[in-house]
Structure 1
Amino acid sequence: MFDRIRGRAASLALASALLASGTTALAATAAAAPHGNILLGPNTACAWGFQAGPDKVNIAYPDTGATYRGSNMAVPRGGYIEISGQFPHARYLSMATYSRTSASVDGLNDQAIVPDAGSVNPFLDGADRTAGNRSYTVRLVDGRAPETDRPANTLYTTSSDGTRSTAPNGALFLIRVYLPDTGADLAGGVPLPTVTLVEADGRRSTVPACEPAGYAAPATDPGTGAALFDTPAIGLFGTNPPAWSKFTNLPTAIAGLLFGNEITGDTVLPRVQEVTERLGAAGGFFDNPDNKYIATTTDTGLGQVLVLRGKAPTAPHTLAGTARMGAGQVRYWSVCSNNPWSTAVYQCVYDEQIPVDAQGFYTIAVSTGPHRPANARTECGIAWLPAGTLPQAVLMVRNMMPSPGFTESIQNLTRGSEAAGMGPYYPGGEYYRTVADFEATGCQGN
């Protein structure tokens, strides 16, 4: 036991150093941004001057199936910000505003946006996804979202409960596009929306779009290299089998990473959760209001290959440019591996990429690049995720916009009910001590 605790202390010291280093570098990166961005104060010089993703600003656990563009500007007093664009050729579109502490405040998803006169909203169930006329106009106002009788196509800087507003007269807002159709660009084959400041007296001024800054956050890597070292003892950070927790806020997520293990998980973590929730540290880390998440921590000390198995929610497939918008248990779902300290994403696999068997179950193998099993490939019915170059990685599962009948969705969970609440959709895990052990299970195909 002493060796395990001593090994844990060494790992925690490394974790603290990495976290401090990453935080410092992240602050320096934000300060160097040329156009202003979501991390800085209001800057009306550019619209969409911020872009998050693996090749841009890789922070806040982004999904590699999505493109995130943001603006940070002041709403004209008595006026509003007008966002006018075209619905993308993609799986999903949304807009959301955020507090200074990165919690989502208000949001509009694609189905909640009424198209302009003569246009079609291609995201409604059964709608024509190929329609040529697909324009919309949204207003962003500085105020509190009404609990009832909400005006159409209106986004607010303050939540309906009034507890999480942005800075006075300022607006942090992101637009998300998930899974552009094959052949379309990251914006979904349409121009970026036009942002216009509309003054109280009706004067209008268009904000230049600007090319998003091309700088990268610290501690990113392709996630395909060998681990720096394997942890010397079992259960220093992760558990076997891995335990998934619903994401509620960043402090609790960090506590889960540090204390969600076989040594302290039954004592420290519940107390941390209680304290953070009592302090009102709810909300996400630039979360998407339409997504809910569960997360777990991997640990190379538990085995070279982690294998996840569960039932896949159904989702509409759109990559091939499907003519009509379909439906499913969710609009989108994915599993992502992330750097635990920089919050950068290594890679995600999403619904259309994940093979399922005849009963609708998936198998995903997670390992370092050199430890990728030969049978971890689509032809064998197995998806693969890189685990990065650190001893631990954070895995996240997303559910987006579940249908009312999908009672096993992450949206319906409370902390502590994950396995029971998700039933067969819970991503059960098993560590294989060596690559050869997993390869011995063979190639099952689809």
Structure 2
Amino acid sequence: MRSCICAATSPVRLPKECQCLIEKLQLPEACRASIAARYRSTSLSRSQALRATSPSMTSAEQTPKQAAPPLAHSSQRVLAIAVDDTADAREALEWLLEKVARPGDSLKLLHVISDPRSPSTAVGSMGPGSHTQWSSFRGGNEESYGTRQSYMSGLQEKANQMIKRRFGPALKGAGAAHEVVFAMERGTKSAAGIGEAICSKAQELKAGMLLIASHGRGVLAEYGSVAKYCSDNASVPVLMMPPASASLEPADPEVLLVIALADLPGLEEAVKFGAENLLGEGERVSVLFVPDQAAAGSDVIGPGSGHRIELAVQGVLDRADKGNVPVDVQILAPGQPGQALDTVDMTMDVGPDICKKAQEIQAKSVLLLHHGKGMIRDLVFGSVTSHTSRNCKRPLMLFRAKTQAS
């Protein structure tokens, strides 16, 4: 390789192929110097980059690094609550703020927006004179909104005003940080359409639970419509609030009632969820377990079965750092001794007993392992969930265990 001298630079050796090309083209000395200068500049930049990443580089030579932003707290919960312009929804929010919400939770007020120009088939729309969350929008002048986008923006603004009026005082009193989230319903208004919009948005928000009020007027309607759709289809646990349930007198200390039918692993999952999300300081857990008396090799039938379940539940609480929580277990064996559970009249023999138990112990909330996955389970066990949903007077959480969902 040959050297080339450039003014104000030190000698730089060009690659052999470059030198050959320069000589072949018979470039003047000034051009050769310019090429050498460019090559030197590039070589220095590359060597500096290599030294900056070299492991042998001293700390004094390294460029100070910017501190990484702190990660979001992994234990932050997202609590979603479906709201509309009803007192029941406000009562449900007040219960959530008092009984469930904790500092650091992310509270999402989920409100369904639908184009009121489309025909309504929602349960709760009771004909002339009835009031739903959309009725105040139906008489508006569509032309004043201009395009459909601005029209829907107008609906959102009206909904924001309603939420501020209906829920603002409770949120301000609790000092709760919150966010209003709109779910857009597609197509005509219906219980299924509204429920689908709520479930989809709750999943999108990665909510840890979804709270929904049950009432006979307005679009969140009674059990059997929007609330039932959500309890059957939501990918997150659904907590349903019957009318006036938030004002019922709780026991002292308050009690979380956990119920499962012939599913001990599912019961343990439900207890874990309840301990982490619903159980407050100084409260206790009451378990109601319904075994399948005809199940071969069952370890939860016969003398001492209640004690074995209690030990299993206590183990779950210990692992959840709730080892000091008192636990009591009741075994409910409907039908005749040895009778298979799938031959028992669930609506007559199990559902009423669950509702009665919840009232007797004045449960703060009821955590029911959701029964009804697939056609057979829905026919056999789903009636328990359906009956309890319609008749339980206490806040009811329907929980689908991962083992069951899989």
> TM-score, normalised to structure 2's length?
0.25
> TM-score, normalised to structure 1's length?
0.23
Larger Rg, first or second structure (1 or 2): 2
Higher strand share: 1
